[in-house]
């Protein structure tokens, strides 16, 4: 107390100033003070944050120049309380501008105070370098999902007060996977960085650009300017993206699909706006990529219907609501039924009998198809076992296999185990694969096909001609049959092109030592033409629709056969045996 009294006011003030200086330099946060619109004091962290070589560059400069115009109001918000109380603003995520014009994301708050007889504002910003971790994407430096949602939530609250609108743009690159797979991950990373820069360059500084994951980017278009619609901005982004880029030494044209959702039109919650923009983006992809779509309630209904369907399918498995119908396959040489195809139906308590095309695609996307596929094989084996035990003259049954099932590690074990459980001869089971299945990972698929073949089952290629047939692979597939797709069968009697395709497929099958079966045969004319081309088997409404178990058992017992005219229907079949 005594020492204190001995010091004069000037010394005390000098000490106070030194303490405050030391404190300002010690804190890791950027601190600066502006008064009368000019920066009047700052610490080293602020100098680094703004990218200034020395404090002198910033001292006396305009404080507003360090803030993107759209963020200024946000910085002032809550600042004008009682000056004497030095109330701190709540922290907020804002952007500041470096001297080189780059925007930096910071956590910011400020308070009002007196500075050299004038009213001033002290600003504190947390250096992004210190806490970037957790809020930013390391590859592009853009805000991540968490920070985006935080910003969006803030923007929504502000827009609510000001009666403004906001737009969320969800962008997904078209064919990014292709770039990664063909040019390598380094090129993929480079592309993502280029896209990040392009997006930043296509919007205003205070708009947020974030990277959610992979090639998913999202933009928050804040307080839209009069006359410039989000649609115009999306269009501009599309144009900028489509400019050629240099990747791995070559020019590439990259496009993206975008979905837009609007506040308050589509919703008032950050999460739901983001989800809606995502849904709209998926629709833009479906609509042929390289474009954008605005979210509509109808899109949501479709998504909801899908979710309901998925849940329905899950319950269908648990409650045993699936049933199999069987369609006969007839040998054109003998007229006899030599096989059946098992076709799945869903006997839904709410929807009635649902055909597979209404639920298989959904089951495939949700991977439920793996469980459903196992159920089908088990059911077919159990049914065959029961028929054999009851003395029904059985024929082999073909089971459709989805791509996802074929990609399962334990596919072979599953088939083997199911056959054993029902003590069934493997020759009674045929697997129908589509052309696209073996092409996902050709070598692995061919190896699996050989292992399945070794068990003793047969295989066919379904819907042949509709996929991308790679003939060099086809040669290596250990399959027994090609199934000519019904779209070609339909035209065989009327469309010369279809007839040529059918003829070519039959020849191809025979030259590879395989049998050819035409699907969807409905008329006698089709039967005659197919027979004349040397087609081995037919399947279709002409002989029989798919039948429920009772019907097919009756047919097998009765020995029903296709009535062939005397001397056969097609004349000589020229076949090169394999
Ligand atoms: P797919 O394997 O090509 O089956 C042939 C489809 O053509 C069946 O339709 C059958 O009822 C229909 N069809 C047969 N003959 C004729 C005809 O003369 N005219 C016409 N217009 N159509 C005929 P379905 O039963 O609706 O099955 C459609 C598709 O659903 C199947 O095509 C198959 O890809 C898939 N699918 C059916 N069951 C299963 C299954 O158990 N697992 C998997 N993964 N897919 C299945
Ligand atoms: Mg089939
Ligand atoms: Mg088919």
For ligand 1, atom 20, the nearest C-alpha belongs to 520
Confidence (pTM): 0.66
How confident is the model at residue 5, as a pLDDT?
59
Residue 360 reports pLDDT greater than 90: yes
Nearest residue (by CA) to ligand 1, atom 43, is 400
Q: Is the CB of 430 under 6 A from ligand 1?
A: no
Give the DSSP H or E segment for 417: helix 411-421
**Domain co-membership, 282 together with 390:** no
Distance between CA 520 and CA 491 in Å, rounded?
A: 11
* Structure confidence by residue, pLDDT tens digits, 289-339: 889 999 999 999 999 988 899 999 999 999 999 999 999 999 999 999 999
Q: With respect to residue 304, please indicate whether it lies within any of the assigned structural domains.
A: no
pLDDT at 147: 94
- Above 80 in pLDDT, residue 134? no
User: What CATH number did the domain enclosing 149 receive?
Assistant: 3.30.70.270
HSE value, Cβ hemisphere, 13 Å, CA-based, for 297: 3
Out of 317, 339, 372, 400, mutate this one to test ligand 1's pocket (max ligand atoms within 8 Å of CB): namely: 400
**pLDDT digit string (tens) for 520-530?**
999 999 999 99
Tell me the CA–centroid distance for residue 483 and ligand 3, in Å.
Answer: 7
CA of 400 to the centre of ligand 2 (A): 5
Domain identity same for 513 and 549: yes
The verdict on the CB of residue 522 being under 6 Å from ligand 1 is yes
In a shared domain, residues 219 and 85: no
325 CA to centre of ligand 3 in angstroms: 15
In a domain, 504, yes or no: yes
Instruction: Tell how far the Cα of 443 is from the centroid of ligand 1, in angstroms.
Output: 28
Highest mean pLDDT among 137-141, 158-162, 555-559, 567-571: 555-559
Q: Do 114 and 208 share a domain, yes or no? A: no
- Identify which of 52-56, 77-81, 198-202 has the greatest average pLDDT: 198-202
**pLDDT, position 573:** 41
Nearest-atom index, ligand 1, CA of 463 = 3
Q: How confident is the model at residue 133 (pLDDT cuts 50, 70, 90)?
A: low
- Looking at the CA of residue 546, tell me the nearest atom of ligand 1: 11
- 330 Cβ closer than 6 Å to some ligand 1 atom: no
Q: Tell me, yes or no, whether 309 lies in a domain.
A: no
Band (pLDDT 50/70/90 cuts) for residue 129 is: low
Mark 142-175 as b/e (b = at least 16 C-beta within 10 Å): bbbbebbbbbbebbbebbeeeeeebbbbbbbbbe
Q: Decide: 114 in ligand 1 pocket, CB within 6 A.
A: no
**Claim to verify: residue 181 and residue 96 sit in the same structural domain:** no
Q: pLDDT value at position 95? A: 85
Give the mean model confidence (pLDDT) for residues 115-120: 85
State whether residue 388 is helix, strand or coil.
Answer: helix
Note whether residue 352 is domain-resident: yes
Regarding the beta carbon of 463 and ligand 1, being less than 6 Å apart is answered yes
Q: How far apart are CA 398 and CA 427, in angstroms?
A: 11
Q: What is the 3-state secondary structure (H, E, C) of 437-480?
A: HHHCCHHHHHHHHHHHHHHCCEEEEEEECCCCCCHHHHCCCCCC
Is there a contact between 380 and 421 (Cβ–Cβ < 8 Å)? no
Task: State whether the beta carbon of 376 lies less than 6 angstroms from ligand 1.
Answer: yes
Q: Considering every ligand atom, which ligand is closest to the CA of 463?
A: 3
pLDDT of residue 518: 98
- State pLDDT tens for residues 204-248: 888 899 999 899 999 999 866 667 889 999 999 999 998 888 888
Across the strands, what pairs with 432? 400, 460
Q: Could you tell me if the CB of 467 is within 6 A of ligand 1?
A: no
3-state helix, strand, coil in the chain (%, to 5): 45, 25, 30
d(CA 536, CA 481): 10
Q: What is the mean pLDDT of residues 422-449?
A: 90
Query: What pLDDT score does 126 carry?
Result: 77
Residue 350 lies in a domain: yes
C-beta 538 within 6 A of ligand 1: no
Q: Are residues 172 and 95 in the same domain?
A: no
**Does pLDDT of 171 surpass 70?**
yes
Q: In the structure encoding, which two tokens stand for residue 334, read together?
A: 């003998």
What is the predicted pLDDT for the residue at 1? 46
Which stretch of DSSP H or E encloses residue 340?
A: strand 337-348
- For residue 499, give the CATH number of its domain: 3.20.20.450
Cβ–ligand 1 contact at 541 (below 6 Å): yes
Residues 322, 314: contact at Cβ < 8 Å?
no
| Residue numbers of the domain that contains 199 | 136-295
Q: Are residue 11 and residue 99 in the same domain, yes or no?
A: yes
**Residues with C-beta atoms within 5 A of ion ligand 3:** 462-463, 519
CA distance 126 to 46: 9
Mean of pLDDT values over 28-55: 89
pLDDT of 413 above 60: yes
Residue 574 clears pLDDT 50, i.e. is over it: no
**CA 470–ligand 2 middle distance (angstroms):** 20
**171 close to 258: Cβ distance less than 8 angstroms:** yes
Same structural domain, 569 and 478? yes
Domain boundary among 295, 313, 331: 295
Q: Across residues 388-407, what is the average pLDDT?
A: 95
CB atoms within 10 A of CB 75: 23
Residue 286: exposed, middle, or buried by beta-carbon count in 10 A (0-12, 13-18, 19+)?
exposed
Of 330, 519, 527, 548, which is best to mutate to test ligand 1, by the most ligand atoms within 8 angstroms of its C-beta?
A: 519
- CA 402 to ligand 1: nearest atom: 44
Residue with the larger pLDDT of the pair 6 and 339: 339
- pLDDT score recorded for residue 132: 56
Give a yes or no: residue 460 inside a domain: yes
Residue nearest to atom 41 of ligand 1 (CA): 344
pLDDT at residue 432 greater than cutoff 80: yes
Whether residue 306 lies inside any domain: the answer is no
The per-residue pLDDT for 461 is 95
Cα Rg of the chain, angstroms: 35
Question: Is the CB of 435 within 6 Å of ligand 1?
Answer: no
Which residue owns the Cα nearest ligand 1 atom 22?
A: 520
Inside any domain, residue 308:
no
Ligand closest to Cα of 326 equals: 1
Residue 503 pLDDT level (bands cut at 50, 70, 90) = very high
CA of 323 to the centre of ligand 1 (A): 14
Kindly state if the Cβ of 551 falls inside 6 Å of ligand 1: no
Q: Are residues 361 and 510 in the same domain?
A: yes
Provide the pLDDT for residue 577. 31
Q: Which ligand is nearest to the CA of 521?
A: 1
Q: For ligand 1, pick from 329, 343, 520, 525 the residue to mutate: most ligand atoms within 8 Å of CB.
A: 343
Residues 96 and 190 in one domain: no
Nearest ligand 1 atom to alpha carbon 343: 38
**Ligand nearest the Cα atom of residue 465:** 3
Residue 490's pLDDT is 95
Lowest-confidence region among 95-104, 124-133, 345-354: 124-133
Domain C-terminal end among 108, 131, 154? 131
Higher pLDDT, 69 or 360: 360
Clarify whether residues 423 and 511 are in a common domain.
yes
Asked whether residue 378 falls in the same domain as residue 348, the answer is: yes
Q: Which of 278, 295, 312 is the last residue of a domain?
A: 295
Which CATH number covers residue 16? Answer: 3.30.450.20
- Only one residue has tokens 């035209």, namely 491
Q: Look at the chain and report how many structural domains it folds into.
A: 3
Q: Which residue CA neighbors atom 27 of ligand 1 most closely? A: 356
């Amino acid at each position: 107390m005594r020492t204190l009294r001995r010091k004069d006011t000037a010394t005390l003030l000098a000490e106070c100033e030194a303490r405050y200086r030391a404190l300002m330099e010690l804190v890791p946060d950027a601190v600066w003070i502006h008064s009368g619109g000019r920066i009047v004091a700052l610490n080293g962290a602020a100098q680094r944050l703004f990218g200034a070589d020395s404090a002198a560059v910033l001292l006396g400069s305009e404080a507003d120049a360090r803030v993107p115009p759209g963020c200024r109001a946000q910085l002032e918000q809550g600042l004008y309380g009682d000056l004497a109380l030095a109330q701190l603003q709540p922290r907020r995520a804002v952007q500041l501008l470096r001297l080189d014009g780059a925007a930096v994301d910071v956590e910011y708050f400020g308070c009002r105070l007196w500075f050299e007889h004038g009213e001033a504002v002290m600003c504190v910003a947390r250096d992004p370098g210190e806490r970037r971790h957790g809020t930013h994407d390391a590859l592009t430096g853009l805000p991540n999902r968490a920070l985006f949602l935080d910003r969006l939530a803030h923007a929504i609250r502000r827009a609510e007060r000001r009666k403004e609108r906001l737009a969320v743009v969800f962008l997904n690159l078209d064919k990014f996977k292709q770039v990664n797979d063909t040019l390598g991950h380094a090129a993929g990373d480079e592309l993502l960085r280029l896209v990040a820069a392009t997006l930043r360059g296509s919007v205003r500084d205070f708009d947020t650009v974030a990277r959610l994951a992979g090639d998913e980017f999202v933009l928050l278009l804040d307080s839209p300017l009069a006359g410039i619609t989000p649609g115009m901005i999306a269009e501009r982004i599309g144009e900028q993206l489509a400019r050629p880029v240099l990747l791995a030494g070559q020019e590439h044209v990259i496009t993206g699909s975008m979905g837009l959702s609007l506040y308050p039109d589509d919703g008032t919650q950050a999460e739901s706006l983001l989800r809606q923009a995502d849904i709209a983006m998926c629709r833009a992809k479906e609509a042929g990529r390289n474009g954008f779509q605005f979210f509509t309630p109808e899109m949501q209904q479709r998504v909801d219907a899908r979710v309901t369907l998925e849940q329905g399918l899950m319950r269908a498995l648990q409650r045993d609501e699936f049933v199999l119908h069987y369609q006969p396959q007839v040998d054109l040489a003998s007229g006899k039924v030599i096989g059946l195809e098992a076709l799945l139906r869903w006997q839904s308590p709410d929807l009635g009998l649902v055909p597979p095309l209404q639920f298989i695609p959904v089951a495939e996307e949700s991977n439920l198809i793996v469980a459903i596929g196992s159920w089908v094989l088990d059911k077919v084996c159990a049914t065959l076992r029961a028929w054999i035990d009851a003395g029904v003259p059985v024929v082999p049954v073909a089971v459709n296999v989805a791509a996802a099932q074929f990609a399962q590690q334990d596919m072979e074990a599953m088939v083997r185990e199911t056959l054993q459980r029902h003590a069934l001869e493997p020759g009674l089971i045929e697997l129908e694969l589509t052309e696209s299945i073996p092409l996902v990972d050709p070598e692995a698929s061919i190896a699996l096909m050989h292992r399945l073949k070794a068990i003793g089952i047969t295989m066919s290629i379904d819907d042949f001609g509709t996929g991308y047939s790679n003939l060099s692979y086809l040669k290596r597939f250990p399959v027994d049959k090609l199934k000519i797709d019904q779209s070609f069968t339909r035209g065989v009697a009327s469309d010369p092109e279809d007839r040529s395709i059918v003829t070519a497929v039959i020849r191809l099958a025979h030259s590879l030592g395989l049998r050819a079966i035409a699907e969807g045969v409905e008329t006698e004319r089709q039967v005659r033409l197919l027979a004349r081309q040397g087609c081995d088997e037919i399947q279709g409404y002409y002989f029989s629709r798919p039948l429920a178990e009772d019907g097919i058992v009756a047919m097998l017992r009765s020995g029903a056969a296709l009535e062939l005219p005397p001397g056969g229907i097609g004349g000589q079949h020229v076949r090169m045996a394999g």
